[in-house]
Amino acid sequence: MPSVLQRLDSAIADRSLVQIERGGFDARDRIVHGYPLATGDDLVLLSILSDRIDLDGYEVIRIRDITSCELDFPRKDFYQKALELKGEVPTPVLALDLSSIAALLDSAQRQFPLLVIHRERAVPGECEVGRLKLTSDEAFAIRYIDPSAQWADDSEHYRYADVTRVGFGDEYAKTLALVARVAV
C-alpha cells in the first residue's frame, strides 16, 4: 500500500484532487479537499477546495498529521466537473520554502499580505491572523489583525513546533488585507 507521501506525490504528478484526513483534530478541520502542489520533508502545500466549490487560497499542513490521503473519494467527479465549468485550476506558488515551518512563514509572508496560523493541538478552533514581527530559532511573534481588520500587537511568542497548519491567499485573508490596506 502506498504511503501518504507517495500518494501526495502521485496526485501532484497527475494534478489530481485529493481528500486528506487528519485524525485527532476537530471534526471541522479533520477532512481537507485540495490539490497537492508541492511537498517538503514534513510539509505539503495544497490549493484548497472551499465549501463554495471553488479554489480558495492555499494551506500547508504537516505530513505527519495526515492519517489518510485518498485519490478516489465520494463526490470527486462532481467537484472536478464543477471546478472545470467554473474555469478553476490550481495555480502553483513560486518560491515557497517547505523545508520547515520557520522557512514557510518567512517565504509565504513575502508573497501574501496575511498569514493564517493554526496551532490546533495547543488551541483547537483558534488561529492567529497577521504578519510576522519577530522571529527566533524556536519561536515567532506576530502583528495580529482582528476580524474587523484592526491591528493589535500580540505580545505572545509562539513555538514553530506547535504550528499544524498555515493558510494564505484565501478570500477571507485577502479581504482583511484589502480593508487594512496591507500590501506585500
User: Using an 8 Å Cβ cutoff, are 142 and 130 in contact?
Assistant: yes
Q: Could you tell me if 75 and 43 lie in one domain?
A: yes
* DSSP string of 152-169, one letter each residue: EE----EEGGG--EEEES
**Predicted confidence pLDDT, tens digits, the chain (184 residues):** 789 999 999 999 999 999 999 998 887 889 999 999 999 999 999 999 999 999 999 999 999 999 999 999 999 999 999 999 999 999 999 899 999 999 999 999 999 999 999 999 999 989 999 999 999 999 999 999 999 999 987 789 999 999 999 999 999 999 999 999 987 6
Would residue 96 count as lying in a domain?
Answer: no
**Residues 145, 39, 125, 162: is their CA dihedral positive or negative?**
negative
Query: What total of structural domains would you count in the chain?
Result: 2
DSSP 3-state percent helix, strand, coil across the chain (nearest 5): 30, 35, 40
Kindly report the average pLDDT of the chain as a whole number: 95
Q: Could you tell me if 69 and 131 lie in one domain?
A: no
